[in-house]
Structure 1
Amino acid sequence: MSNTLTKADIVDTIHERMDMNRAEIKDHVEALLDIMKQAIKSDHSLLISGFGKFEAYDKDARKGRNPQTNETITLPPRKVVVFRLSRKFRGEINDQRE
C-alpha cells in the first residue's frame, strides 16, 4: 500500500500548524497549484529554490506498436513534464550535507 501525500493531507497539515479555517487553507493551496500550473504551461518551467525544477518539453511524434494486434501506429506529439531535484534537496534525501 502506498503512502502518497494528497492535497487533503497538505490542507490538514497546514490546518494543524496555522490558525486558519480548513476552507480558507484549501483555497490557498488551490491558488498555489493554479499558479504553478500556469507557470509550467506558459513558461515551460517552474523553479522552487531548495526543492527542484519542473520543466515541460515537447516530444515529437513517433512510431509505436499496438501490442495486441502488432499493428504499427503513429503516436502523436505531446508535452511532457519532468521534475529535477535541487542539489540541496537531493543531499537531504540521501542524508548528505553540502
Structure 2
Amino acid sequence: MKKSDFVKQLKDRLPEMNADQAEKAFDAVFDTIADAMKSGEKVDVRGFGSFSVRDQAARKARNPATGETIDVPAKKAPAFKAGKQLKDALNAA
C-alpha cells in the first residue's frame, strides 16, 4: 500500500475529513513517530506494536566484486515489533 492509498482509505473511513486533511493527519502521525525515534524514544501503540531505534555495531565486510575488506561504521537502525493484537489478526483463520 502506498501513501496515497493509505490517505484515500483514511479519508473514506472519516467522511468529515477532506483529502488534504487526511494527508496532513497521516504526515503528522508519522512525523511525530520519526521525531520521537530521532530523540531516542520508543513509541508504543497498544495493540499494534512498538517502534524503536537499535544500535548496530561497527563491523568489517567484504566487497563481493573485489574481495577487499572494508570497515562499515556503527549506525542506528529503525525497528518495529508487532503487538499481540496485530499478530493475532494476521494469523486469524
Q: What is the TM-score normalised by the length of structure 2? A: 0.90
User: Does 1:9 find its partner at 2:25?
Assistant: no
SS in 2 for 1:43: coil
Q: Which runs of 5+ in 2 are unaligned?
A: none
How far the C-alpha of 1:73 sits from its partner, in A, is 0.5
For this pair of structures, how many residues does the alignment match?
92
How far the C-alpha of 1:55 sits from its partner, in A, is 1.4
Aligned counterpart, 2:75:
78
What's the % identity of the aligned pairs?
33
User: Does 1:22 find its partner at 2:42?
Assistant: no
1 CA distance for matches of 2:53 and 2:78?
4
Alignment of 1:57-76 (within 5 A): 57-76=54-73
How far the C-alpha of 1:44 sits from its partner, in A, is 3.6
SS in 2 for 1:50: coil
1 CA distance for matches of 2:17 and 2:88?
33
SS in 1 for 2:79: strand
Q: Is the 8 A contact 1:44 1:57 kept in 2?
A: no
The one of 37, 40, 43 aligned to 1:40? 37
Q: CA RMSD in A?
A: 1.3
Q: What per-residue deviation string (whole Å, max 9, x for no partner) do you get for residues 28-72 of structure 1?
A: 111111101011111342111000011101111100000000000
Q: Is the 8 A contact 1:40 1:56 kept in 2?
A: yes
Q: Which runs of 5+ in 1 are unaligned?
A: none
| Structure 1 residue ranges, 4+ long, deviating more than 2 angstroms after superposition | none
